[in-house]
């Protein structure tokens, strides 16, 4: 492990940052409880502009050793690059308390204050003008210290996730069954959702996307259910439509233009000008007409089954799928306890052809 760490440092010094990340990753696999390895990999990830990965590495280093000042420094720098100024400032202030008199913390905290003021309209200085890169990203020879906190190295994601949104919030679900509260740690940033699930005896799971839009951390919350963990993210800009869960610069710009002109500004017109089309009202009317649409025959049956499936819980959906498939479309059950432990035999009605349905 010492040889890998030495080679990683040499690669970093020679500006071979990708090689440095790879070597640090190998060293971490051999010693997953060494906080310096995570802090140094964060440093290399910053050089590669892998800022979310750098935040994750720095956070892991802090979890292993809460007194490691350089981990707070690197988390602060990475968060500033992500325009997470409040989160960056909080990390830098802790680091400054651990390293009194260190000018890098003082300078970066000042830049965070300027960027925060600019965001709230209190300063004319732009965040891009802040000379973050003029501050040395720590020394490249980290001290040889180690903590023996029992942590599990994260592996590739093993849980499925999905999201939907409302005008004022985004709801994210991670489908992890039977998760206990003590196994999960959650951190809400200004534009980051960081979730770590550590199931005893299994590889750890880490989910940390840079979100499409900013959120209000103090108003965010999560709930652990039997089949999933649900996160409710309060939008910092209510009404802004997220084109995706994760940040994408091009779609973010397009969506902001559309929202600012149609939702946020809400211009009014005098009687002499054309009236705006109320698309929300039209959409609501269409949904009402669809709901009230009268169908008969197979169409009505299909619609009925689709509505049951759409509103059903996971066990009910599993029962419907299993019974329908195993009976060749002749039986449809919503009772998982009844069909989950045995094969469903087909039983078409006498003299009738069983109608198939879509879901």
Q: How far apart are CA 132 and CA 83, in angstroms?
A: 12
Q: Nearest 5°: CA angle at 272, between 271 and 278?
A: 55
Q: Measured between alpha carbons, how far is 210 from 305 in angstroms, rounded to an integer? A: 38
- 289 versus 53: which is more confidently predicted? 53
> Which ranges in the chain are annotated with CATH 1.25.40.10?
1-117
User: Which residues of the chain are in CATH 2.60.40.790 domains?
Assistant: 161-234
For residue 252, the model assigns a pLDDT of 53
pTM over 0.75: no
Q: Is the Cα dihedral 296, 302, 306, 312 positive or negative?
A: positive
List, for residues 275-324, the tens digit of each pLDDT value: 555 666 766 776 666 666 555 555 666 666 777 777 778 888 888 888 87
Compare 179 and 276 and report the one with higher pLDDT.
179
* Residue (of 51, 99, 48) closest to 72 by Cα position: 99
Give CA–CA dist 145/205, Å, rounded.
Answer: 26
Digit-coded pLDDT (tens) for 198-217: 888 888 888 888 888 889 98
**Residue scoring higher pLDDT (166 or 272):** 166
If pLDDT is split at 50, 70 and 90, which confidence band does 233 have?
very high
Q: How confident is the model at residue 110 (pLDDT cuts 50, 70, 90)?
A: very high
What's the CATH code, domain 161-234?
Answer: 2.60.40.790
Select the highest-mean-pLDDT range: 187-196, 216-225, 308-317. Answer: 216-225
Compute the distance between CA of residue 334 and CA of residue 304 in angstroms, rounded to an integer.
13
For residue 148, the model assigns a pLDDT of 40
Integer Cα distance of 244 and 236 in angstroms: 16
State residue 149's pLDDT score. Answer: 41
Q: What is the pLDDT of residues 30-43, one digit of tens each?
A: 888 999 999 999 99
How far are the Cα atoms of 84, 215, 247, 269, 313 from residue 191, in angstroms, in the given order? Answer: 7, 6, 9, 35, 31
| Torsion of the alpha carbons at 39, 41, 47 and 48, rounded to the nearest 10 | -140
CA nearest neighbour of 204 among 191, 193, 195: 195
Name the token pair of 336.
């998982």
Quote the pLDDT of residue 201. Answer: 84
- Whether the per-residue pLDDT at 156 is higher than 90: the answer is no
Among candidates 68, 63, 8, which has minimal Cα distance to 204?
Answer: 63
**How is domain 1-117 classified at the CATH fold level?**
1.25.40
**Separation between Cα atoms, residue 27 and residue 1, nearest integer Å:** 5
Cα-Cα-Cα-Cα dihedral sign, residues 321, 323, 329, 332:
negative
Does the pLDDT of residue 53 top 80, yes or no? yes
Q: What is the predicted pLDDT for the residue at 170? A: 94
């Amino acid at each position: 492990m010492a040889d890998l760490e030495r080679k990683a440092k040499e690669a970093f010094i020679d500006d071979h940052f990708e090689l440095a990340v790879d070597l640090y990753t190998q060293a971490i696999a051999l010693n997953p409880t060494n906080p310096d390895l995570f802090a140094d990999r964060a440093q290399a990830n910053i050089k590669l502009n892998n800022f979310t990965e750098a935040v994750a590495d720095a956070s892991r280093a802090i979890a292993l050793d809460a007194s490691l000042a350089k981990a707070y420094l690197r988390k602060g720098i990475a968060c500033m690059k992500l325009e997470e100024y409040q989160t960056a400032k909080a990390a830098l202030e802790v680091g400054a308390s651990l390293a009194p008199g260190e000018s890098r913390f003082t300078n970066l905290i000042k830049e965070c204050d300027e960027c925060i003021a600019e965001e709230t309209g209190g300063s004319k200085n732009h965040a891009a003008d802040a000379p973050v890169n003029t501050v040395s990203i720590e020394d490249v020879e980290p001290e040889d210290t180690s903590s023996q906190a029992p942590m599990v190295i994260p592996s590739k994601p093993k849980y499925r996730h999905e999201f939907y949104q409302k005008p004022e919030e985004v709801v994210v679900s991670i489908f992890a069954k039977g998760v206990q509260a003590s196994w999960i740690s959650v951190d809400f940033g200004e534009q980051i959702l960081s979730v770590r699930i550590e199931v005893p005896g299994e590889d750890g799971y880490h989910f940390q996307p840079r979100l499409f839009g900013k959120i209000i951390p103090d108003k965010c919350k999560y709930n652990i259910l039997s089949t999933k963990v649900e996160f409710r993210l309060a939008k910092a800009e209510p009404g802004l439509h997220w084109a995706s869960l994760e940040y994408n610069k091009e779609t973010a710009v397009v969506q902001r233009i559309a929202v600012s002109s149609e939702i946020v500004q809400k211009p009014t017109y005098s009687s002499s000008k054309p009236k705006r089309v109320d698309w929300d009202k039209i959409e609501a009317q269409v949904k009402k007409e669809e709901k009230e649409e009268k169908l008969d025959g197979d169409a009505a049956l299909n619609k009925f089954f689709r509505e049951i499936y759409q509103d059903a819980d996971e066990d009910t959906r599993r029962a419907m799928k299993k019974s329908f498939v195993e009976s060749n479309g002749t039986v449809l059950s919503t009772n998982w306890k009844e069909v989950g432990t045995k094969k469903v035999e087909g039983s078409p009605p006498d003299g009738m052809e069983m109608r198939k349905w879509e879901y």
